Chain A
Amino acid sequence: MDFTYTPAEEAFRSSLRAWLVDALPQGWGESVFEPEDEDERAMFRLDWERKLHAGGWSGINWPTEYGGRGATLVERAIFAEEMARARAPEGINIIGHNLAGPTILRHGTQAQKKRFLPPIIASQEVWCQGFSEPNAGSDLASVRTRAQRRGDKFIVNGQKIWTSFAQYSHWCFALVRTDPDAPKHKGLSFLLIDMKSPGISIRPLRQISGECEFNETFFDDVEVPAENIVGDVNDGWRIAMTTLAYERGPEDGLARQVRFKQELDKLLGMLDTQAGHHRSIDNAAIRQKLARSITEVEVMRLNALRTFSKYLNGEDRGPDASIIKLYWSHAAQNMYENAMDALGPTAPIAGGDPLSAAGGRFQLSYLQSKAFTIYSGSSEIQRNIIGERMLGLPR
């Protein structure tokens, strides 16, 4: 066990740190923040991703032949730490970087890797995920969106739902039914679909936070070139499991931990500099809750590092991804509950009101956090996976 870094890793850290000082706007995180409007914020985040790429800080541990930096998982962890430290903005092509990219890298053809990976790394092409359907949520293998082979094309018909960032996306990877007569897991394929294709329409869905990050996506006789299948026809379930392992895995967990740590630090800083005689930061019960959340956010990071080390020591990716996801989702929800508790009487005052704390970010995050235990596999599904595949309990 060793938490020290090699000179090469330290050099990676200091060059990233220096780059961030120049790249972030003057006063970032103190007086300068992200735009409040949802679309403007999306474009701001896209610009930031492209800036990261221009600086050579995208696709950190992806192979250099596809435009990545070719760095190690350890450097990827350092990258996350430094992004947290600098309070750097999030990106918008999260699904491209964390899901589409690793899946194509693992299962794609040489031609697919060459075609799709460099524009993901450059955030020239933003991706969305076409998995869930109105009648295929936790029971993902029951998707009904059909893809029928016609000549050198698949013709896709159906509906996907909860498609985050579809409105900004150039591409969508989708789980579609290619054989309706086969058992449900054995008739699925994994297609890469150009969002500009005729026949695709999207309708925004409003979330409990009031935002419209996700959408319904409709496919009406959409033509997809046959070469855009990843893996074999009817082998899509296996490919999708890789996607899910990355969606729930330690890289994703660590990137999220960065956000949670930033928000928790912000909250603590704000509470600690408040004036008055009845400050919540002086309340013993609140202090206990905050200390527990500080601990859980640190454990999120340690969980990711432990899992990275397993991979580096040659272990396979397995159901441990479900442990990562189940842990961070509940710990983060709890952290936002604690944040609301700590805000005391003004907790209900949201962004837009001059009296709101930190521009209302905690109220917004509190509402957003309710999705954590539902998306990328609900907690109930994660518990089934852990119980059956890790602990060997009967189905």
Chain B
Amino acid sequence: MNFGFDEDQKSLGDTVAQMLGDFPALTAPDPADARDAAVWSGLAELGLFALLVPEEHGGAGLALVDVALAVEALGAGLAPFTVATTLIATDLIVRYGTDRQKSAWLPRIAAGQLRIAVAMLEQGRGYDPADVETSVSGNMIGGRKILVPDAVDADLFLTLALVDAEPALVMVERNARGVALRPHADIDPSSGFCELILEGASLTDCAIIGHKFSDAPVQRLIDLGAALHAGMMMGIAARMLDTSVDYARTRVQFGQPIGAFQSIKHRCADMAVAVEAGRSAAYYAVWAVSEDAPDHARASSMAKAYCGEIARRACNEAIQIHGGMGFTWELGLHRFLRRSKVIEHAFGDEAWHYERVIADTLAGQANASDHGRAAA
């Protein structure tokens, strides 16, 4: 038992954080300026996309938990969404892909040549993966997906769709016939959200991922998405804490730094406690999903719901502690507020995940008492 990261894992996190720090546009006040193609190539040169790819396909063969701190850094640095979603897709292809799919995609992923966006949500529907209309018939897919992040830059869309009336994961190529994008007007323009319009879009004959594994790939997409997005929100929350503490140390009012006032100091302390608590939840969730531990679905739902609340509060507190400056466009705190809110609603929101937690817990209790009776 060791609930800590090793030196390699920490150093990867630091390296990603530093690299993202070299692109000030990412966190600059104007979200419209935040998209910089060099970020992707920088991360690719770093080898980030090769980490989860097995060695036989040109990667490093690492586990998801090895990139947990790097993912936190992606959150803190407001990195493009496709970085995380490409890592998520990599895990799914490695785990459920056919040999042909693996050879087609993994070497290109490892080389940083494939950006994979995830398309799950539909207008008027919830987060339940079965609650979709988009469907595959023959070698065509039809439907409309909303809030697909970084869609304009994506090469592939990992799309949740019905195949034989069951939810499944389908890879749609950006350049396929019948694929169109409509950019959304949304609260975080740096997220690159689009509506993905599939009108009899053509699929290759190896588009469906892991169909023979029943609903496991879809479930894993949700768990992976929840755990990694929880991690990214902790990156944002921790950055808001650091920013607030730095400001409270230096901003002087009434003749002293405002951090000397307990009204500010105690807010910062509560944020610090929340950041540590959220990290415990997020790190454990990433480990549980990485190792496919029996409680991985519950752990990832706990983390997604809980870290969402923590990140939301951290952004709010940071703005409050910065006072009038906090509300200015030019200070840029709104970038974290916007991104955090967007992540909160991706891969299941708080209410959806908490419902999963309580349902899973009650089912577990019923099982345990059945076992108890059987043993007695």
Asked whether B366 lies within 8 Å of A299 as measured between CB atoms, the reply is: no
Q: Which residue of A lies closest to B259 (CB)?
A: A393
Given known contacts A268-B362, A281-B362, A291-B354, A387 and B259 CB-to-CB distance under 8 angstroms: yes
Neighbour of B354 across the interface among A9, A288, A313, A383, CB < 8 A: A288
Among the 9-residue stretches B30-38, B94-102, B264-272, B332-340, the one with 4 or more Cβ atoms under 8 Å from chain A is B264-272
Complex alpha-carbon distance, A391 and B321, angstroms: 15
- Tell me whether B253 is interfacial, beta carbon within 8 Å: no
Complex alpha-carbon distance, A394 and B355, angstroms: 42
Complex alpha-carbon distance, A393 and B250, angstroms: 10
Q: Enumerate chain A residues within 8 angstroms of B272, measured Cβ to Cβ.
A: 323, 386, 390-391
- Closest Cβ of chain A: how far from B51's Cβ, in Å? 16
Complex alpha-carbon distance, A5 and B279, angstroms: 22
Among the 9-residue stretches A158-166, A170-178, A202-210, A301-309, the one with 4 or more Cβ atoms under 8 Å from chain B is A301-309
Q: Enumerate chain B residues within 8 angstroms of A294, measured Cβ to Cβ.
A: 302, 357-358, 361
Q: Which residue of B lies closest to A74 (CB)?
A: B1
Interface residues in B219-278 (C-beta closer than 8 Å to A): 245, 248-249, 256-257, 259-260, 262, 264-266, 268-270, 272-273, 276-277
Given known contacts A313-B4, A387-B265, A393-B268, A287 and B281 CB-to-CB distance under 8 angstroms: no
Given known contacts A288-B351, A306-B4, A299 and B281 CB-to-CB distance under 8 angstroms: yes
Complex alpha-carbon distance, A1 and B259, angstroms: 35
Asked whether A380 lies within 8 Å of B354 as measured between CB atoms, the reply is: no
Complex alpha-carbon distance, A295 and B302, angstroms: 6
Q: Which residue of B lies closest to A298 (CB)?
A: B302
Per-residue B-contact encoding for A130-143, CB less than 8 Å = 1, 0 else: 00000000000000
Asked whether A393 lies within 8 Å of B306 as measured between CB atoms, the reply is: no
Asked whether A306 lies within 8 Å of B280 as measured between CB atoms, the reply is: yes
Count of residues in A whose CB is under 8 Å from the partner chain: 50
- Tell me whether A2 is interfacial, beta carbon within 8 Å: yes
Q: Enumerate chain B residues within 8 angstroms of A269, measured Cβ to Cβ.
A: 365, 369
- Tell me whether A312 is interfacial, beta carbon within 8 Å: yes
Asked whether B3 lies within 8 Å of A272 as measured between CB atoms, the reply is: no
Q: Enumerate chain B residues within 8 angstroms of A291, measured Cβ to Cβ.
A: 305, 354-355, 357-358, 361
- Tell me whether B293 is interfacial, beta carbon within 8 Å: yes
User: Which of B1, B5, B65, B362 has its CB near the most chain A CB atoms (within 10 A)?
Assistant: B1
Asked whether B306 lies within 8 Å of A327 as measured between CB atoms, the reply is: no
Q: Enumerate chain A residues within 8 angstroms of B49, measured Cβ to Cβ.
A: none
- Tell me whether B283 is interfacial, beta carbon within 8 Å: yes
List residues of chain B with CB under 8 Å of any chain A CB.
1-6, 9, 65, 68, 245, 248-249, 256-257, 259-260, 262, 264-266, 268-270, 272-273, 276-277, 279-281, 283-284, 287-288, 291, 293, 302, 305-306, 351, 354-355, 357-358, 361-362, 365-366, 369
7 contacts between A and B (CB under 8 A): A294-B361, A302-B281, A306-B283, A327-B277, A391-B268, A393-B245, A393-B249
